[in-house]
Amino acid sequence: MLALLLASAAGLAGGAWAAPGSDSVAVTGASLAAAALPVPPELEKRGSSDSVVPPATPRVAARLLPPAPAAAAALHAAPGFVLRRVPNPRHRSVDASARAMPAALMRLRAIDRLMVQVTHVRSGAGRRLTDWRIEGGEEYRERAALSAVASGTNDGDRSRLRTLRLDAGRGGLSGSFGDVPPVTVERFVSLQHLRGAVVEGDLGGGAWWRALGGGPTPTPGQPTPRAAIAGWVLDGARVDDARLSLALFGFRRGAPTARSGDPDSLAGRGGQAVIGITAPLPMGSLALRLAAGHHDLDGHGGLTAGQITEWNLSAPRLVIALRDERATRRARVIGSDDYRATPRREDRWNVQARPWSGRAEAHFTGVVRAADDPALSARTIQLGGSGTVGRSRWYAGAEAGWDDRPLTGELDRRLSLQAGRSWTAGHALLARLDRNTGGAGRDQLQATVELSLALRRRLRLGLEPRLWWDARRLAQGALEARLTAPLPWLGTRLAAGVVLAAAAERGFRGELREATLAVSLAPRARDRGDLEIRRVSDGGTGHLEYDAGYEMVADRYESLVGGSFARRDSSRVTVLVLRSGNRSGAPNVLVSLDGKELRFTDEDGVARFDHVSPGVHVVALEERSLPPQQEVVGASRVFVTLERGHPPEAVEFTIARPARRSTF
């Protein structure tokens, strides 16, 4: 009875009604009444969005409806129904592909990287040389990464592929295939140009292992030694509080293809094992490395041995590093290109003190190396200090050095005096006087002034006048000027520089020695592009150089509901000055090489010394040039050994605020 009353009320209301939602379905009074009754099977097969309209009017249908059982039979026997759709004018369909994905439903899937760099040199004689490098890859979540690196050269006649490498990793396992990165094990193994494979594994807790194998990387235009090298390294294994390392290497080399008569080019085979342990001490550490091997490179088999002992102490006002190396006569360094002899004995020391609450610094460094080959023997000592002048921002220092090379039989002596000042506005001044004396009556004097001015609108002007005297006579002078300025678009910074010089041998006629124009831009937060054009003229002949590079980093996201520049040069020393904590570069910090050459770090905290001669050199950070309330963490002077064909690793200094200690 209730169903009949509802059906009658709906029928008397008349007409059809439609919900304002997205599905527009017309429902009449008869269909509402039918919804309260048992539904015949043929009606169950119809779609839910279809309206059921009998041919009779709503009022007639309501009046003819019998009680429930009879009504079901009547509907079952009624004539065919008509399906009709009634559109809703307020409904607007939504394209699923145009819906914006909420940020909460997105996550970072990978970071893509791409770097391209080209270096071109064109000399006045028409000779051209182009070096290029391409590096790209991506880093995924779960410590997975994939990248590829390729480099080559073009000398105008033909193009050559120099290196090609593929790097991959997932979790604690990674590998490199092709021209792999350099691999070194103390002084005993130095693989700088290895073509093969390297696989590394992370054992946790700072321990890792590495397995490698391959041969020398071919050098365009030069013969390639026929050699094979294989090895395995374990490092950082914990034994109580100490760290244990172990290395095993074997090699084989065929008949010589170059440098006939050189003992390092003789055919042979051999192997070497290295074991080391590093134990912590109060404010320092003690390390011991032992090596033993066997080879027949000298024409007959024999054993070799070597040891390295190193002690380090690092206190707030005192840093000491002592290193002692010993090796037998037949000991050699396993390399990718050659197997050169090692020094029989080498002692290094580096002592640095910071008295008067860090307002002064004194250092004493030295290297004594003895070898059967006079070219490897050396004795170098440096002694000096610096400090602030009273409570002012002026500072001064002095340094003396002695370098004895048995190969030449000459003793070089150097004396350096310096003074400078820094201003809170960003200005900096440094004046330096260097005198070098040696054999054959050599007496050279150089005076240098470096001035850096912070101008308005973030402009910076650098001036560096230099004068040279030889045998107490003025030989030449030069003035280097450099201006950097930011531009208001794409994070661009423009730098222009010139070097004007005059020499006595040319009657002190002024000439433009070098002109440089550089542009650096950062169109996005992690993208960087660099372009530098340089014109160099020396002795009437000149050449044009340009470097162009771009590095791009992009993030790639996924929906939760859907399921690395320039070719390394063995005569270049690179210095990094980084801030502790965020590891960002510290600009305008003065660093020196052997106390002779000075450089200020750039915006990224990088300084470079080019055309450095092979041998042992000292790289120092001048602490007086640090920003206020900053000091060096550890030693501010380190040794760097340069060897032909073996590019050195970058020298890294870390600066931080001094730690505050309270005593109760």
Pairing of strands 106-123, 615-621: unpaired
Closest CA to 405 of 583, 599, 249, 614: 614
Residue at a domain's end among 37, 62, 93: 93
- Give the domain-ending residue among 93, 111, 140: 93
Examine residue 334 and state whether it is found in any structural domain, yes or no: yes
Task: Identify whether 82 is part of a domain.
Answer: yes
For residues 422 and 450, give the distance between their C-alpha atoms in angstroms, rounded to a whole number.
12
- What is the sign, positive or negative, of the torsion defined by CA atoms of 532, 538, 540, 541? negative
**First CA to last CA across the chain, in angstroms?**
93
Q: Is position 206 within any domain?
A: yes
| The two structure tokens encoding residue 87 | 């559109």
Overall number of domains in the chain: 2
The sign one gets for the Cα dihedral 594, 600, 602, 603 is positive
pLDDT of residue 90: 53
Return the bridge partners of 198, or none. 176, 212
Residue 484 lies in a domain: no
Asked if 50 and 196 sit in the same domain, the reply is: no
Helices then strands, counting H and E runs in the chain, come out as 6, 39
Confirm whether 504 is domain-assigned.
no
Tokens of 13: 């209301």
For residues 656 and 639, is the Cβ–Cβ distance under 8 A?
A: no
What is the value of pTM for the model shown?
0.68
Burial string for 584-601 (b: 16+ CB within 10 Å, else e) reads: eebbbbbbbbbbbbbbbb
| Sequence-distant (≥ 6) Cβ neighbours of residue 525 within 8 angstroms | none
Indicate whether 255 belongs to any domain.
yes
**Residues 178 and 79 occupy one common structural domain:** no
Q: Is residue 41 part of a domain?
A: yes
Enclosing domain of residue 89: 2-93
Residue with tokens 């080959």: 373
In the chain (664 residues long), the average pLDDT of successive 10-residue segments reads: 39 38 38 37 37 37 38 41 55 41 57 94 82 94 88 87 93 93 90 94 92 90 85 94 95 69 67 96 94 90 94 93 94 88 93 89 94 87 92 92 86 93 89 90 92 91 95 93 90 93 88 92 87 84 89 76 43 88 86 87 86 87 85 88 79 82 46
What is the spatial distance between Cα 567 and Cα 550, in angstroms, rounded to a whole number? Answer: 15
| Structure token digits, residue 661 | 């200690």
Return all residues near 194 (Cβ < 8 A) that are at least 6 apart.
Answer: 179, 180, 182, 183, 212, 214, 215, 216, 217, 229, 336
Q: Is residue 487 part of a domain?
A: no
DSSP structure class, residue 625: G
Within 8 A by CB and 6+ apart from 444, the residues are: 435, 436, 437, 468, 469, 470
Block residue for tokens 């006629």: 509
Do residues 192 and 312 both lie within one domain? yes
CB-hemisphere CA count at 13 Å for 159? 7
Question: Do 82 and 188 share a domain, yes or no?
Answer: no
Give the pLDDT score at 654: 92
Q: Which amino acid is at 405?
A: R
